[in-house]
Structure formats: C-alpha cells, structure tokens
Structure 1
C-alpha cells in the first residue's frame, strides 16, 4: 500500500515514518507534505492508497484538503490525526466520508490496527469493483458475441442490417481489414469440454496476438468461429501460417485435432459475412483435402477452376432429388452424369475421382456437422480421395456414387429430416414457438440436420428475407403485442422476446416500426 503523510510538525512525520517502516512492512511512504495545499498537490500527483493527515495545519487544514481532493475525484482513504478536543473536526470528517481516526499521541499498536482496517476496506472495495468490471465485461462479451454471430449468418447483401449489427458489436472499422476463420474439432460435439475450450481460446489469442482485434466464440457443436480485424492490411500468407502453427500447437499441447477453413481478407466490415461464408465453404472441402488440415478459400477456387464442371442442370436435378429424398430420381440423374463423363475422354482416373467428390460436395455441404458425424458411411473413409482411389473405372465409380446417394437418403428418412418443400414451414413453426430463446442460425441448422450455410441461402431463397431479419421481425411483432396488451416495462418485454440488450432492442424496434417502444405504447388508441 502506498501512503502519504501530511502534518505541519516534522517530528510527528518522522515518528510516523519510523513506525510504519517497523510495524507495517506491506506499506511504503511515498511522499510527505507539511500543509493542506501542499498535500493536495502531492496527493493528486502520486495518487496514494492511504493518506494520514493532521487536522489543524496552516494554509488549509486537513478537512479542507480532503474536501478539495474529494471534489477532484480522489479515491484515497484518509486517516485523521486528532486530539480529544477536536470533536467538531471529527464530525466534519464524518460528513466527508472519513471513517478512520488516530488519537495523538500516536501509539504503534493503534497505528498498525487502524492502517490494517483501512487496507481491508481498500481490498474489499477493489474486489467489489473487480466483480462489477467482470460482470460488465461478461455482459459486453455476450452482447458482442450475439451481434457477431448474427453478422456471420446474415449474409453480405444485407448492408443495412449489417450496419446495425456492427454498431451492436462495437467493432472498430476505420481503416481496418477483416478475415474469418472456422475451426472444426475432430470428434463428436463434446470434443470441446469447457476446460479444453478455454484453453483453445487462449491458444487462438496467442497465435493471433499481432492483430488488433481477435473475436472468437463457439459457433456450433465442435466448431469455433474467429473474426480477425487489423488496422491496415492483413497479410493472407501470414494469417494462414499462424493458423497452421495454431493447429500444430493445439494438437501438441491439448491432443485435439482440428480442420480449418479460412476466408479471404475483406477491406470493409460489411464483408465479414462474406469472408465467413468462404471459410465455411472451404471447410466443407475437408472431404477432399482430408481432416486435420488448414484449407484457405483461394485453394478451393483453384481446385474448382482446374476441374471439368458437370453441367449445372444435372447438378440441380440431383440436388432436387436429394432434397426431396427421391431415390429413383437421384439414381437416374447419377446415370445421366456418368454418361456425360463418358463423353469427356480427356479426363484422367484421378480427375474422374475428384469429379465424383465435387458432385457429392454440393449435397454434403448442406449436411450439418452433427449429421456427418452420425452417418458412419459418409465418414472419413468414404468421402475422401483415399476411399475413392479404390475405384479406377467409371462403372465402379458409378455404382459407388449410387450407393452413397442411397445411404444419404436412408439417413434422412431414419432421422425424420423434412423434405426441402416442407423444411421452411417447419422452421417457421419452430421459430414461432421458440422466438424468445437464443437461437443462432448454427443451432437451428443443427436441429434440422442441415449446414448453416445452406440453410442461410435456402431460407433467403424461399422467404425473400434473411433468417436474422425474419427472426427480428417475429420478435418485434411479439413485442408490439405485449406493448398493446400488457403493462410490462420495456426491459421486461425485451427479455421476453429473446433480447438481452435493451438498447439494441429499442434501436431495432424503432428501425422496424418507426418509433421507440415507449412511443408506440403512448400512441396506442385509448379504449
């Protein structure tokens, strides 16, 4: 503890210094003043924890000094040196919040006990402040994570909503670059237990420490999303290198294997969702690149550019058959695709194998992480170049593809996964019953055994609105009903419709209705 002594009698000051040095080794006298005005300047400069001051001094007495320091916001604790005749001074001291007094002449035991009491008070106050700060930080982190999660899922085309979410996330955007990363840990959803999860977050922070901002959180099951921001440019090669080093360190120290997709660097915050879509897309190519790999998005683009693309109409036809679990349609389409491949004599066996994977990827990419984990047939030994390498002829590849497609349809039927034409209806029905819960796109996708990326695209295609915007409209609609039919306070309604941040709720309400929640209630027609 840092102490300052203020007394106009040098002998008392010297005596206090000796006693403190002898009986209070945890304290250090950092300064001495001999009148109130001198004390004010010294205390403002050195910001001590404790001040022991006489009451009666020239220029400004001890209480005047305390008053001036309190007016300036000083947080120091004061101990008054007072005689038995100084009762009026003591009463004024209490009004100033002074709790501690030492009677003159000062005795060692009294000084030690009084300073120890002050130290305990200071430590208790600091502990309370830390609790408040920790709580504030936790609330801020939760709000930021919620906004970031929505930013990742909302889609890059919704600029207006993106601005709202950027404001809620409090991300610095001036002159900044951004990139997104998606980590997926090998194993089931429990692979990241709470302790190992915190250790992984620490590893991420350490690996990406040179960047100005690193925001990371559990995205879904065994997936961790990372948003990196930096003032100026982000070197993509350096970012990929750091992620590879992170992957090696996580396996070495935590014995966790992970596969990583890395999106491209974006020069504006509105591109964050695009970079995340790219990271998610890159990660889906683990069936080509293998597990326990780092997959930058540009590598996937290069891979696709080198391959012979199957006609889009045939891919769309296969996709429709899978979505509606029509085995006859799917098998027929596979036959058509292979007849087309027979007409491409320049394709090598390796290219044929890769082409089969690319055909399946359009379907596998729609499957959720949980679905892939549960479907053993679509595990690492089937959807991999090593697995396909066994089939060197078109005929055997064709039969293998049909077998995979049949297994995918059987899995969907076994788990009661809705057909494409029914899925949006079921999702809307689920949201109408659970709108007041924290429902991220990733969590919703896992519930319906579909990948978040595909759900985001499909939802927008079928409803004309993003998932995030649809949920916001639903919640605000429920909030309007509560404002109309109840006397609940705005913050209570905010929580009842699924929001934790009242300010964000009020801004969103005003944006979607044109007025604040309180104004909406005030303008309701009188019955």
Structure 2
C-alpha cells in the first residue's frame, strides 16, 4: 500500500479530502497531514517513506512551489500532485516546471478523479521501488565482492547493517561454486543469455537460502558464484552437517531447474567479517581439487588435506624414464603400462593447490614433443591437426579427462610411428624383391640382397620373412621354379638349358628342387605340357 501525505492550510479541506475518496479501495494510506510546506518537510524528514504528496499551492510560511523545489532535492522519487482551482492553470504550469507530476481540481475531488491519476503514479512508485531494490542489491553485491576479494574493507560491520546483509553471527563460512562443463554453455549462449543465466543461478541460490537458512549469494562470473554463511554455534560437526544439507539442496536446484552441475568448495570456519577474504580463497582452492576428486562434488578442507605438502612430503620428482624409453623403443604394450605408472605418481604428488597438477602433465607432454623432434616428426602432421598442448590441458576440468586425452595422444603417436615403420619395412622388402626378380638367375645370396636394400643381413632376413611369409632361400627357389615352368611351357629349351637360365649350374640339384616344389620331375612336367 502506498503512503500519502496531504498538505493544505485548511483543516476542513484536508478532512474533506480524506472523506471524499475510498482510499483503502485505491490501496492508498493517508499516513500524514501538514498545514504548510515547512511542516510537510519536517514530517517528511522523520518519515521518508512517503510515496505520494498531495499539496496545495497557496499556503502560509512555505507555499507549494518552495515545497516542490525542496522535495525534488531531498526525494526526487516522491510523486507530487498539486491541488488546483479552475483559475490556477498558470500556477499549475509553474508547479509542473518545478517537478510536480500531476494535478487535481479542488472542485472535482472524488474517488474517480483520484483513481484517474493513481495508475501512473503507482507505476512510477513501483518502478522507483524496483530501482531502489536493484540499487541496494548492487551496493550489497559490491560490498560482498569487496569482502571476498579484498583483504581489508573499512567498517564491514556497519555496512552489513546498512545494507541488510543476512549474516548474523560471529563465525563465518564461504562456499565457492564452480559450474562444471561451462564451456558447453559458453559456446551455446550469447553474452546476454549468459547474463540471464547468471541471474537465474543467483535466484536459485537465494531460493535455497530462503527455504533452508539465512545467508548471501553473489555472482563472481557466469561460471563462479559464492555463498556466505554465518553461525552462532562453532561445533564443527554440526556446521559440517548443516552445510552439507544446504549445499546438497543447491546442487539439486541447479541440476533440476537449470540443468547444470556444480563443484562446491567449502572453507573452514573463520572468525569475524575480516576473515571472509581468507575463507573465500580457501573455498576457491578447495573447489579446484575437483581436478583430482572429480566434478559434481562438495569438497571440504578435510577432503584435500591428503594432497597438501607436509613434513613427510619427499618432494620426489615424477619419473618419466620408463615411459620415454618405451616410446623410443616403439614398445606399444610397455608404453601404455608405463604411462599408467606416471599417472599414478602425478595423482599422488604433493600440491600446494590443485592447479599445480597441470604442470606435471605439461612436463609430460613437453617430453613427448621433444621425442617427436628427435624423430624429426612434425606434431601437426602426426596428430592430424594444429593443437596447443597447453590450451588443451587447461581446457579439461578433471585429471580423468586429462589422462584420457593423453592416452589417446600416445595411441595416435604409436599408431603413426608403427604405420611409418611398417611402410619403411615394406619399401625395404619390395626393394629386395625387385632385386631378386632382376637377378634370380645369378648366384644370388642373402647378403647381396640385404646390401642392396641397405640393411643388415639378419634384419633384412627377419622383415623379409615377416612380409612375404617365406625365408629368402624358399622365396628364391619358388621364384626360380615358377620361371622354369614358364620356360617349359613356352619354349623348346632342354632341361639343362632351363636350369642354367634360372640360376642352377647343377642339373641334379635343379631336378630335386623342382620336384620338391611341384611334386613332379622336370621331365614329367614337360611331357604334360
């Protein structure tokens, strides 16, 4: 209900005005009356929540013009309606210039005439109320951000009272809320939509606070939010249970109404408002341990103690030796076994804060990049795309995501190097085969072929057998016998002449090899053809 002050030097008129209209039906409350402008100002200073002032112009001591001028200075949001007679239009115009908002004819005062001007006045007042509400919230938001982000804030207790901050107690806890998988939202929505999203998050947080317990919510960024709580009781177990209950509700609201999940870091109990900065930093630090503990969790200080450095922390460096050796040896099975050892060491490293864990993965990828350089391989060519290891690692929100990606990188590298190695082996074997095709009729040896391929005799023999399925001597024998069969079918050459043409100087040895391969003697084969 809007509050109204009537200002007129005639008490009879004031009484008549109060009696003429059904003020309750109009949702208006005649809160105050004054005989002149000075009295009205004094009353207003004591009661600044007056929404509408209905004033005459001609009054003793201080007239309506001076009253309007003063009111515009001390309370521009108060709507002023002037009372006018038919012959006062010039005065009304002057009143409008000074800041009056509407007028009423004294000769036409009734419920309908007042109802005519109320909607406009009411809308304006409501707009002012909303504007004041937004302004006060902005002031409170600025103060709370200062409380969290700055080490020293002047007169925090006084400002808590002035801004109606809902923190009543001697001990305080800060909670840092991190929206998981925010990159998906960032890619999906525009800047204005993200601003709207932030407001919805804050509204959801306040809804939980209204239902569960007093506290304050604040948006740090579209991905980051804070909750502030105060406690009279300093029993840690009770506070822990209370926070866990409230924050579980927060996660429920965010997931079911906004379709987002959140990781929440919770600070220890701090004394005094001055401790909020430290509490906030601790809560933020705890929330970072979602990297290791996983997303969508409530993380208290006791959950991260095991990862923080202590007297028993050895400071031992991560051992990458076994993994790097397995890469250099192109040992696929061993490489995947060794990378898991590296991951286990990284997960159990001592950390001042969770973000330090990124450095271990950067170090690992730096070593992999160096290994590629040693192999004279281009990273972009091997991976099939341009990629920044640093940016990619930083884009992940958990160690599990990082490790899954690193495993995939190792798989791609080993596949690429294996394919390349097989391609080279194939080229070497084909080169050897071509040499054999051209020289099978000579007194050919394995060494002659391996020398031509540029490989050692043993290495060439191994890859040749693997690629063709035959050892060198069997391959050469099969080739010679096939050539002999062609000559027997297509020419009239004698058996000994054919033997000499395909590289056999001894006719008996040729006959024995021919029968071994074909199952018949050279003469039998020749007669058949």
Give the structure with higher Rg (CA): 2
Q: TM-score range by the shorter chain?
A: 0.3 to 0.5
- Bigger relative contact order, structure 1 or 2 (CA pairs below 8 A, ≥6 apart): 1
TM-score, with length taken from structure 1: 0.47
TM-score scaled by length of structure 2: 0.46
